[in-house]
Chain A
């Protein structure tokens, strides 16, 4: 007879196997392949025929020394930072607003979720029509109040701002939903107590809402960061990263290298992809560290 410990371990392994298999096949292996791609010098020939020579960190050096690297990194940071700041602020303001439970608040809240439900290709195409230099609605509206048309998508000065605005619009519902549910978890008694103590609205927000929402805010921002770093579709549909790379982020650059050209450069493309993963990972670790410090306090 088998010892009881072994019988108990069997089902445990059996239950573990599918999820492990899934993780290995769909996460670990692709990740490993991406790292491998970035460490070898692939040409189309060696991609198909095999035998790409090991190149160490050459692809990373190529990417880092490319004159487009620093501007593209700056675009990524501006795009991500700008998106997060405004999405979070608007999301928070709307969450507080809808927390008041006024008539129609449910209907209005549902309406605000629409950007989230639309396929990205639809919302990005719509934005690109709205912002069209010659026939866009935005320029037509500006014309009514006597402002010269702005080349939203076709001037290097505006293209990054335009895609950021579109991305903010798409990201607000997510922030609203998460922060709104966070608000509901704050006990009403705390507010009642503060009201008895004579706290003003601003004081309530800064001393109660914001501190008690901190864990929810942190996870919202972290998820937003990971999501925004890898945003590709909106920018690609609206500007293709142009004109002349003025709205290109690292994700766009990676795609351009790997797939956007007749002659793919998988090595540098994969290297940029890995840099993005590292950036998200650093943010994640930072989050865990902050979390832990908060728990210790």
Chain B
């Protein structure tokens, strides 16, 4: 072999260095599946808390094996996942299976990044209609719910006993506020929730908003004003701490965990932590203004099948997703995630195994999808003005009336 001259050698080094910098240019894309069977199927989910030895990943592998493929799974932070999914769709390298927070489905569907159930042949007939709603737009269904969570009121049993409040007596807003007054008289704090200026804030306000009879299409209705007035008055009267304006659902839970608060509005996902509280707890449905349970928004993820350039992959992906959402597997997955199953039959099995879930199953039954009612991608344009209005009223910048009028104006402009 002839020795390269010095300049030549340097040039070669430079080319290698350039290649290293612009990897995409020098590498060839090589994730071609081996025909119909076999190959690697990518799954993205928003559960970074689950390591490779978790039940969730074991289930993914098992479903892969029964479909005759290898599953490669990546867990992303949930806020990160939306951007990752959009970018992947833009670059044409979407995963085969995307597990994603339900309100994101309408955004990704709008982007044309997801297949419909007509295309991917997923069977969604057993799913509860109110849960499936979040994944539907203009008569098409873009995914299948893997589990649902929603909001309810956790209460501190010991504290309520001390204050002489019977949680069973709380049926509507009047009786709830009366309970808060009693708690305050007993020298304790009333209720904590999250009214932060993000989607979380809207998520937490919606049970009260919907519970008043208000609709997302009319943010400044008298009912909507009554819901925001309820929250604002709680702050004014000291039933709720001022910190709720900046509380995430996690910090709100931490406040409740101090044992100083009688009630906390929080989600199904806290059930695991609730067992670790240093006091007795219970849950009641969030009451509607005139009684009965208020419709809370549904949380939880959908399993979707992103668009692939190779349509031949859908058949195997469909097997994978069907396996993930089969009754037995839903039971396991939803137990790990502390979610309520999206199928009535599985819900019954959940309650039979753990009667404490009854409140949650009932709350999920009356819950509503945020992007449902054909709002779809209009929802984000409504939600942002709504959480801004909540913040404006709670911080005293505007009256509930003014704040919601401004929100409605912003929502109709957007």
Chain A residues with Cβ under 8 A from B15's Cβ?
17
Interface centre among B14, B89, B112 (most CB of A within 10 A): B14
Is there contact, CB below 8 Å, between B241 and A45?
no
Chain A residues with Cβ under 8 A from B308's Cβ?
none
Is there contact, CB below 8 Å, between A14 and B381?
no
Chain B 72-108 near chain A by CB (<8 Å), digits 1 or 0: 0000000100110010011000000000000110111
Is there contact, CB below 8 Å, between A134 and B241?
yes
- Of A211-219, A261-269, A287-295, which stretch is located at the interface? A261-269
Chain A 190-206 near chain B by CB (<8 Å), digits 1 or 0: 00000000000000000
Is there contact, CB below 8 Å, between B246 and A239?
yes
Is there contact, CB below 8 Å, between B243 and A14?
no
Is there contact, CB below 8 Å, between B242 and A133?
yes
For residue A274, CB closer than 8 A to chain B, the reply is no
Nearest B-chain residue to A131, judged by Cβ: B246
Interface set, chain A 201-253, CB cutoff 8 A to B: 239-246
Is there contact, CB below 8 Å, between A242 and B245?
yes
A10 to B112, CA, bound (A): 49
Is there contact, CB below 8 Å, between B18 and A18?
yes
For residue A90, CB closer than 8 A to chain B, the reply is no
Chain A residues with Cβ under 8 A from B384's Cβ?
261
A151 to B241, CA, bound (A): 11
Nearest A-chain residue to B398, judged by Cβ: A244
What secondary structure prevails in chain A residues at the interface with B? loop
Nearest B-chain residue to A46, judged by Cβ: B111
For residue B335, CB closer than 8 A to chain A, the reply is no
Pick the contact of B246 from A21, A47, A154 — CB < 8 Å?
A154
Shortest Cβ distance from residue B197 to the other chain A in the assembled complex, whole angstroms:
4
Is there contact, CB below 8 Å, between A240 and B197?
yes
Chain B residues with Cβ under 8 A from A21's Cβ?
17-18, 21-22
Chain A residues with Cβ under 8 A from B380's Cβ?
261-263
Chain B residues with Cβ under 8 A from A155's Cβ?
395-396
Chain B 106-141 near chain A by CB (<8 Å), digits 1 or 0: 111011110000000000000000000000000000
Is there contact, CB below 8 Å, between A135 and B196?
no
Shortest Cβ distance from residue B393 to the other chain A in the assembled complex, whole angstroms:
9
Nearest A-chain residue to B383, judged by Cβ: A262
Shortest Cβ distance from residue A292 to the other chain B in the assembled complex, whole angstroms:
34
Given contacts A18-B14, A25-B22, contact A48 B89 (CB under 8 A): yes
Pick the contact of B112 from A25, A49, A245, A260 — CB < 8 Å?
A49
Is there contact, CB below 8 Å, between B388 and A44?
no
Nearest B-chain residue to A50, judged by Cβ: B90
Is there contact, CB below 8 Å, between B391 and A18?
no
For residue B394, CB closer than 8 A to chain A, the reply is yes
Question: On chain B, which size bracket covers the interface?
Answer: 35 or more
Interface set, chain A 250-289, CB cutoff 8 A to B: 259-264
Shortest Cβ distance from residue B384 to the other chain A in the assembled complex, whole angstroms:
6
A245 to B406, CA, bound (A): 14
Chain A residues with Cβ under 8 A from B245's Cβ?
151, 153-154, 242-243
Chain B residues with Cβ under 8 A from A3's Cβ?
none
Pick the contact of A47 from B111, B396, B397 — CB < 8 Å?
B111
Is there contact, CB below 8 Å, between B83 and A259?
yes
Interface set, chain A 148-173, CB cutoff 8 A to B: 151, 153-156
Interface centre among B90, B243, B394, B397 (most CB of A within 10 A): B243
Nearest B-chain residue to A125, judged by Cβ: B251
Is there contact, CB below 8 Å, between B11 and A154?
no
Shortest Cβ distance from residue A125 to the other chain B in the assembled complex, whole angstroms:
10
For residue A146, CB closer than 8 A to chain B, the reply is no
Interface set, chain B 218-257, CB cutoff 8 A to A: 241-243, 245-246, 255
Pick the contact of A44 from B10, B86, B196, B394 — CB < 8 Å?
B86
Is there contact, CB below 8 Å, between A132 and B21?
no
Nearest B-chain residue to A6, judged by Cβ: B7
A134 to B235, CA, bound (A): 12
Is there contact, CB below 8 Å, between B22 and A245?
no
Interface set, chain A 1-40, CB cutoff 8 A to B: 7, 10-11, 13-15, 17-18, 21-22, 25
Chain A residues with Cβ under 8 A from B17's Cβ?
17-18, 21
Shortest Cβ distance from residue B292 to the other chain A in the assembled complex, whole angstroms:
29
Is there contact, CB below 8 Å, between B10 and A15?
yes
Nearest B-chain residue to A29, judged by Cβ: B22
For residue A128, CB closer than 8 A to chain B, the reply is yes
Given contacts A14-B13, A49-B112, contact A264 B18 (CB under 8 A): no
- Add 8 more A-B contacts to A45-B110, A244-B388 (CB < 8 A): A21-B17, A25-B21, A47-B86, A47-B90, A135-B243, A153-B243, A153-B246, A155-B395
B residues bordering A, Cβ < 8 Å? 6-7, 10-11, 13-15, 17-18, 21-22, 79, 82-83, 86, 89-90, 103-104, 106-108, 110-113, 196-199, 241-243, 245-246, 255, 258, 377, 379-381, 383-384, 388, 391-392, 394-397
A residues bordering B, Cβ < 8 Å? 7, 10-11, 13-15, 17-18, 21-22, 25, 43-45, 47-49, 128, 132-135, 151, 153-156, 239-246, 259-264
23 pairs across A/B with beta carbons < 8 Å?
A7-B7, A10-B10, A11-B7, A11-B10, A13-B11, A14-B10, A15-B14, A18-B21, A44-B110, A48-B111, A49-B112, A154-B242, A154-B245, A154-B246, A154-B395, A155-B396, A240-B198, A242-B197, A243-B392, A243-B394, A259-B79, A261-B380, A262-B377
